[in-house]
Structure 1
Amino acid sequence: MLFVESPVGVGFSYSNTTSDYKILGDDFTANDTYTFLHKWFDKFPLYKKRKFYIAGESYAGKYVPELAELIFDMNRDPLQYINLKGFLLGNPETSDAHDWEGLVDYAWSHAVISDRTHKIIKDNCNFSSTNTWDNVKCAKAVNEVLDQYREIDIYSLYTSLCITNSTKLDDYMRKVVFKSSSSGMMPRIMGGFDPCLDKYARMFYNRPDVQKSLHAIDGHHLKNWSICNDQMFHDWADSRPSVLPIYKKLIAAGLRIWVYSGDTDGRVPVLSTRYSLNALGVTAINSWRPWFHEQQVSGWLQEYEGLLFATFRGAGHSVPSFKPSSSLAFFASFLAGESPPLER
């Protein structure tokens, strides 16, 4: 497995050409990653003929199909050939109009917003229009949705927030860290998703010994690692409003395409993905049915011609953080080209 920090500027990645940061966008990201892949294959030719898959989540719902299309188009040149077989996407941004519609409907259906707010949006917002936000009633109502989500974790509706200034939480954390350390385990909250995971990651990746081990620094000048580099996205050059045309193109080409959704994510909720796939117009070849892991229902799935869509029951935005074991089983099924287990 090859993990790529993309676009340049996120995580520990950087460019020696400072002007790169002023032209970042979807097209730049696809071409930059494509260049990286070829240089990587040149350095490790052993892997050139192996089957190649791409996976990502969230905004990688744009990045991954765009990169896959670029590889597919460039494969017409035998010298540029990469043995691309498919891609896997989790809670992916896919089609702006359907993503917004799904976000709003999901918030309403899960009692995050009122009937009144939902009706105002339905009556005044046309998310397919470039002038959507010129409608004052629409913009105000959508801001109400986002305001309500500031009270909880939009990426995981039913888990607690990380409230680090809480005495109660601090006491609990000390108990958990002490107990875990004495047992030889890594310090963490056991038994489920940890809402303070981002905080721990920030602390961990900003340790000098960690940055040195990762060859991110020379051991002297620390980098300030953060969970998200927001400054990069203020002047984002281009973003396709929809990658559904790429889906159609690559489905016709025979690539394996799987899409999954954690069903407690409010940011790119399961409804957004269902609306997008419905707009794609692909034909269902099997009935909607549950899939299983360790004799329990892990979620539900629908198989289409050229595409599989599955849900993860009780998982938020970053599904493997919530359901690591069932995620691994699902991933293994994807690589094997087999449906996830359909029986208990």
Structure 2
Amino acid sequence: MTVSHLSIRESTTSAPEVDQGRRRWFQRRVGIAGILLVAVLLAVSCGVAVLAILSHDGTSHNHPHLPSDSVEALPGWAGPLPSRMFSGYLNVTHRKHYHYIFVEQEGGPAGQAPVMLWLNGGPGCSSLDGFIYEHGPFRLDPKDPAKLVRFDFTWAKLANVIYLEGPVGVGFSYSDDETDYSKCNDDTTAEDNLAAVNLFFERYPNFRNNDFFIAGESYAGVYVPTLAEALLRAQDAGNYTGAPLRGISVGNGCIGSEVGVCSGGANRDRFEIPYLLGTAFLPEALKKRVRDGCDFEMTGPFLGDTCDKVVKEVYDTVGHVNIYNVYGKCEGSGSRQSGRQKVPLSLRGNQLGGPDACIDSSRGTAYFNLENVKAALHVKSDLSWEWDSCANPEGWSYNRTRANLPRDTYPFLLGRLRVLIYNGDWDASVPYTDNEAWTKALSMQLGLAVTQPWSPWVFGFDGQVGGYRQDYTTAVGPGAFSFATVRGGRHEVPETAPESAFQLIGDFLKSEVVRKRGGLDAGKLERLQA
């Protein structure tokens, strides 16, 4: 499988300028006039909007490193922060510097809410993609890309959320030794991520007693469980000093270099072709030839000449659909985007799961490359590469060193943690057929009882069907291992199905916020339909 290190969300060469006349905003508050006056004067000189240093409720939390990491202003937002925000670097070694953004929970005491670490995948894609496009407190205004707008279904209403960019050479994370950019792999990434987590809780010790969760999507299907494994083993050895890890969540995730759709070849076809058979993209006659000519239960690196021939016909027939959002448009702009659109589905499927080539991310690229944004986030401004969702410095490479996570890692995790695996059902890059298969097979292998058989789950006050799920009982408890689909979600579920994703994750975190909105139990749907 070929790993692409080009930007997958499309970049642009010119950043839109902030309209200073519309962005200047002055906030006056009795009792802090002197401090605020300095902030206002700085904002006028930089042309940015001033964000309140206090939380939405006016409370202040005692954090070490507050002066250097506290986000006091962001361009494009004219109002107080919904909650405290921090941004800076965690020096995981003497030369590796991981950038993070930390958003405290909105609407409640942050000291009591869980802490969630969010990781995007790639490998080589920035977790700020999750911050600005998926579930951060703001999104970019589609009518004015220099302006931020509030996002109703931010996961910051459910938890204190950390967005960590890694490994080095991704986003604003960097190394003082450029040779590190060619040495990234699954194991070094897990080690560095663990060091970053330990450093985070050293910097924010007030959160050490909170429940801790790790979540991510796409190639973070490798990052998340390998970090969880490293953390638990470090804890057992007395080398972990952070908050207690309670669970992990992975959306549309890869599972190793030798298994699952992300390993490519016949393994990809075993799950992608059955997914496509369930769509209207193929005539019934071709579907019949696939069923007659292919045995997708057969293991090994080959499916046979007859099957290979009909599989090629399937890809040729499907054509240039958006592999990460099969029912959506292939949108974007720029030379790289137009080139990617000409690549057939069968070849684009060789790329690892990451943000879609058919999504125009020029707005995010422009925003994070504004000098005043970089200053507000306290990041290094003279990196040798431009920030982009999935762009890396020259010479950057990644070696996949974890072969089979369902075999090697998940049995250990299931004995200690709650685990949620979910898939958007509009994604053909890492289709639900892949993750449904391995979760079911592993549960049978481990002899796990089915807590709740395949059934709909609902979200919102009116009980809309959010998708389908099956829950298993583990040593952690009933329903501690779950596989769920998200109806209408594509590869990046929180971006395309935000309300249902909010409910799904909130239920996983056992959040009071979603309990007030209505639970996810299938029985609720039956009661509503009665």
The aligned residue for residue 321 of structure 1 is 495
The aligned residue for residue 5 of structure 2 is none
Per-residue deviation, residues 272-302 of structure 1 (Å, max 9, x unmatched): 1111112212432212211111221111111
The aligned residue for residue 169 of structure 1 is none
Q: What SS does the aligned partner of 2:253 have? A: coil
Per-residue deviation, residues 231-261 of structure 1 (Å, max 9, x unmatched): 78985323323211321111122x1111111
**Is contact 1:211-1:222 (8 Å) kept?**
no
The aligned residue for residue 151 of structure 1 is 320
For 2:493 and 2:392, locate their aligned partners in 1 and report how far apart those are by CA, in whole Å.
Answer: 22
The aligned residue for residue 340 of structure 1 is 520
Q: What SS does the aligned partner of 2:520 have? A: coil
Per-residue deviation, residues 22-63 of structure 1 (Å, max 9, x unmatched): 221100110011111112222222222321110000111111
The aligned residue for residue 272 of structure 1 is 434
* 1:136 to partner: Cα distance: 7.9
Pick the structure with greater CA Rg. 2
From 197, 206, 219, give the equivalent of 1:46.
Answer: 206
Query: Aligned in 2, Cα 1:289/1:126: closer, same or farther, shift over 3 Å?
Result: closer
The aligned residue for residue 411 of structure 2 is 248
From 80, 86, 89, give the equivalent of 2:250.
Answer: 89
Summarize the alignment of residues 51-62 of structure 1 with structure 2, pairs less than 5 Å apart.
51-62=211-222
Q: What SS does the aligned partner of 1:6 have? A: coil
Query: Aligned in 2, Cα 1:199/1:112: closer, same or farther, shift over 3 Å?
Result: farther
**Is contact 1:291-1:299 (8 Å) kept?**
yes
Query: Aligned in 2, Cα 1:119/1:16: closer, same or farther, shift over 3 Å?
Result: farther
For 1:199 and 1:127, locate their aligned partners in 2 and report how far apart those are by CA, in whole Å.
Answer: 43
**Is contact 2:424-2:492 (8 Å) kept?**
yes
For 2:187 and 2:426, locate their aligned partners in 1 and report how far apart those are by CA, in whole Å.
Answer: 31
**Is contact 2:422-2:486 (8 Å) kept?**
yes
* 1:327 to partner: Cα distance: 1.4
Q: Count residues in correspondence.
A: 310
For CA contacts below 8 A with separation 6 or more, give which structure has more relative contact order.
Answer: 1
The aligned residue for residue 129 of structure 2 is none
Q: What SS does the aligned partner of 2:162 have? A: coil
* 1:127 to partner: Cα distance: 8.4
**Is contact 1:206-1:222 (8 Å) kept?**
no
Query: Is 1:303 equivalent to 2:471 in the alignment?
Result: yes
For 2:221 and 2:232, locate their aligned partners in 1 and report how far apart those are by CA, in whole Å.
Answer: 17
Q: What SS does the aligned partner of 1:301 have? A: strand
The aligned residue for residue 294 of structure 2 is 122
For 2:521 and 2:385, locate their aligned partners in 1 and report how far apart those are by CA, in whole Å.
Answer: 44
Query: Is 1:68 equivalent to 2:248 in the alignment?
Result: no
**Is contact 1:121-1:142 (8 Å) kept?**
no
Counterpart residue identity of residue 94, structure 1: I
The aligned residue for residue 366 of structure 2 is 203
The aligned residue for residue 3 of structure 1 is 163
Counterpart residue identity of residue 243, structure 1: L
For 1:136 and 1:21, locate their aligned partners in 2 and report how far apart those are by CA, in whole Å.
Answer: 40
**Is contact 1:98-1:275 (8 Å) kept?**
no
CA RMSD of aligned residues (A): 3.2
Summarize the alignment of residues 143-182 of structure 1 with structure 2, pairs less than 5 Å apart.
151-162=320-331, 164=333
For 2:394 and 2:312, locate their aligned partners in 1 and report how far apart those are by CA, in whole Å.
Answer: 23
Per-residue deviation, residues 41-91 of structure 1 (Å, max 9, x unmatched): 222222223211100001111111111011111111334244111101111
* 1:107 to partner: Cα distance: 2.4
For 1:247 and 1:121, locate their aligned partners in 2 and report how far apart those are by CA, in whole Å.
Answer: 33
For 1:285 and 1:215, locate their aligned partners in 2 and report how far apart those are by CA, in whole Å.
Answer: 47
Q: Which sits farther off after the overlay, 256-265 or 145-154?
A: 145-154
For 2:230 and 2:506, locate their aligned partners in 1 and report how far apart those are by CA, in whole Å.
Answer: 26
For 2:396 and 2:428, locate their aligned partners in 1 and report how far apart those are by CA, in whole Å.
Answer: 23
Query: Is 1:24 equivalent to 2:184 in the alignment?
Result: yes
Query: Aligned in 2, Cα 1:22/1:196: closer, same or farther, shift over 3 Å?
Result: closer
**Is contact 2:454-2:470 (8 Å) kept?**
yes
**Is contact 1:24-1:237 (8 Å) kept?**
yes
Q: Comparing both structures, which one devotes a greater share of its residues to helix?
A: 1
The aligned residue for residue 293 of structure 1 is 459
The aligned residue for residue 375 of structure 2 is 212
The aligned residue for residue 330 of structure 1 is 504
Q: Which runs of 5+ in 1 are unaligned?
A: 166-194
Q: Which sits farther off after the overlay, 244-253 or 147-156?
A: 147-156
For 1:13 and 1:140, locate their aligned partners in 2 and report how far apart those are by CA, in whole Å.
Answer: 44
From 37, 55, 80, give the equivalent of 2:240.
Answer: 80
Query: Is 1:108 equivalent to 2:277 in the alignment?
Result: yes
Counterpart residue identity of residue 328, structure 1: F
For 1:213 and 1:140, locate their aligned partners in 2 and report how far apart those are by CA, in whole Å.
Answer: 55
TM-score, normalised with respect to structure 1: 0.78
Q: Which runs of 5+ in 2 are unaligned?
A: 1-160, 262-267, 335-357, 475-480, 526-530
